[in-house]
Amino acid sequence: MKERLRREHYLLIYADIDKYKLITRATKTVSWTVLTERLKQILGEKFNKIDAGRLDLAQSLRNQMIHYDVELSHPQVYHDFANLLNFIVRFYEEFLAYEDEKSLKDLINENLWLEVDDLYFVFSHDIVYYNNNFMTKEDVEEIEQCQKLTKIESDGKIYSRIKYGDPEEWNDWDSDYADRICHDCGVVKGQYHTKGCDMERCPVCRDQFLSCGCPRKYLEP
């Protein structure tokens, strides 16, 4: 960003341009706030659209790191990474790249970009954030499908399936166990387990649904 100011005029990267005759190696360059304000004045609305609040995010993360007060949580860290990387790429292409430079990738080690591409591909194509956890899209689809299977039939009788965290599920357990995601199938409290989950309880005999041996079949919606 300072390089873009320098290209506009070399004095603009300094905090106090009125003292240009006294500029030395020790002279302070612009602060973050002044830097962004000058760019807004020079580059106009196009810069504001690319920024879209992301510079405030970058400043916030920087301040946290400086003061050893960093709290990175999933998936927010991946979202912030992708968000800021997108800003850098777009800023470069819009305001810094020369005509013969099509992409920022032309100036960065190829192996680094391969890592970024792999990370982006995994998190945009294969992995999603669901129920406060990362899981494959196939797992999410299975969970969603099993929410439609609300009843089973056993020996001609209809029974409602027991949801994760229902009082009749595992009443001898600590009451707060369902505050955590199901360790086997990834559902959360109030959802039906997926088929074959070792945590589901049989509505017929109240033993483990997976191994109790009660005859049953799921009733399709």
Q: Mind listing the pLDDT tens digit for each residue in 54-96? A: 888 888 888 888 888 877 776 677 777 877 888 888 898 889 8
> pLDDT band at residue 134, thresholds of 50, 70 and 90?
confident
Of 41-45, 75-79, 180-184, the one with minimum mean pLDDT is 75-79
Domain span at 173: 137-221
In a domain, 196, yes or no: yes
Higher-pLDDT residue of 26 and 76 is 76
In a domain, 37, yes or no: no
In a domain, 79, yes or no: no
In a domain, 60, yes or no: no
When pLDDT is averaged across residues 106-122 and rounded to a whole number, the result is 74
In a domain, 158, yes or no: yes
CA atoms within 13 A on the CB side of 50: 21
In a domain, 148, yes or no: yes
Total of domains in the chain: 1
In a domain, 185, yes or no: yes
In a domain, 206, yes or no: yes
pTM exceeds 0.85, yes or no? no
When pLDDT is averaged across residues 37-45 and rounded to a whole number, the result is 92
